[in-house]
């Protein structure tokens, strides 16, 4: 995983773990990696990894048991709640940004329907621009 320099690393890792829960890759009750393992996986400092778990616990996403590890909160509704929360957050931000540029919802639908931009780069895909917004 590569980090965006304009956002704290620990926040990006927090978001990534929440994404894994929301998308069903990690489940409520699952044990998360130890601070030291997490640091290795994301190539970050163990202190930064510990901070990730402190934030997740503060947000009610994870539970920490000293000496035992950190676990995803065992709440069957957790996945659905987080999926809705994150999707709504992304959508609200997108609509806000596009409105700031002068686009109304109707135009957003047209742009998204025509969107074929950067579809997951693969090895063979040399990534020629292809078509984007023609508005």
Partner DNA sequence: CTTAGTGTACTATATAGATAGTTCACTAAT
Partner DNA sequence: ATTAGTGAACTATCTATATAGTACACTAAG
Residues in the chain: 135
- Alpha carbons 18 and 30: distance in angstroms, whole number: 13
Q: Is 95 in the site for a copy of itself (CB under 8 A)?
A: yes
- Alpha carbons 8 and 3: distance in angstroms, whole number: 9
Q: Is 22 in the site for DNA (CB under 7 A)?
A: no
Q: Considering the complex, state which of residue 36 and residue 87 has its C-beta at the smaller distance from a copy of itself.
A: 87
Closest CA to 74 of 62, 58, 59, 83: 62
Q: How far is the CB of 92 from a copy of itself (least distance, A)?
A: 5
Among a copy of itself, DNA, none, residue 58 binds (CB under 5-8 Å by kind): none
- Alpha carbons 72 and 74: distance in angstroms, whole number: 6
Binding mask of the shown chain, residues 65 to 94, with x at each position contacting a copy of itself by CB under 8 A: ------------------xx-xxx-xxxxx
Binding mask of the shown chain, residues 44 to 63, with x at each position contacting DNA by CB under 7 A: xxxxx-xx-xx--x------
The secondary structure of the chain in percent helix, strand, coil, rounded to multiples of 5, reads 50, 5, 45
Angle at 90 between CA 73 and CA 56, to 5 degrees: 25
Q: Give the footprint of a copy of itself on this chain (CB under 8 A).
A: 6-8, 11, 19, 22-24, 83-84, 86-88, 90-103, 105, 108-109, 111-113, 115, 117-118, 120, 132-133, 135
């Amino acid at each position: 995983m590569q980090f965006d320099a304009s956002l704290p690393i620990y926040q990006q890792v927090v978001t990534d773990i929440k994404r894994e829960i929301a998308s069903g890759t990690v489940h409520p009750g699952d044990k998360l990696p130890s601070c030291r393992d997490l640091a290795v996986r994301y190539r970050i400092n163990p202190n930064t990894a510990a901070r990730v778990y402190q934030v997740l616990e503060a947000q009610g996403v994870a539970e920490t048991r000293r000496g035992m590890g950190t676990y995803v909160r065992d709440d069957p509704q957790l996945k659905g709640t987080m999926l809705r929360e994150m999707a709504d957050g992304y959508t609200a931000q997108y609509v806000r940004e596009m409105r700031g540029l002068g686009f109304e919802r109707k135009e957003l639908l047209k742009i998204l329907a025509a969107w074929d931009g950067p579809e997951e780069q693969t090895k063979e895909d040399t990534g020629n621009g292809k078509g984007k917004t023609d508005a």
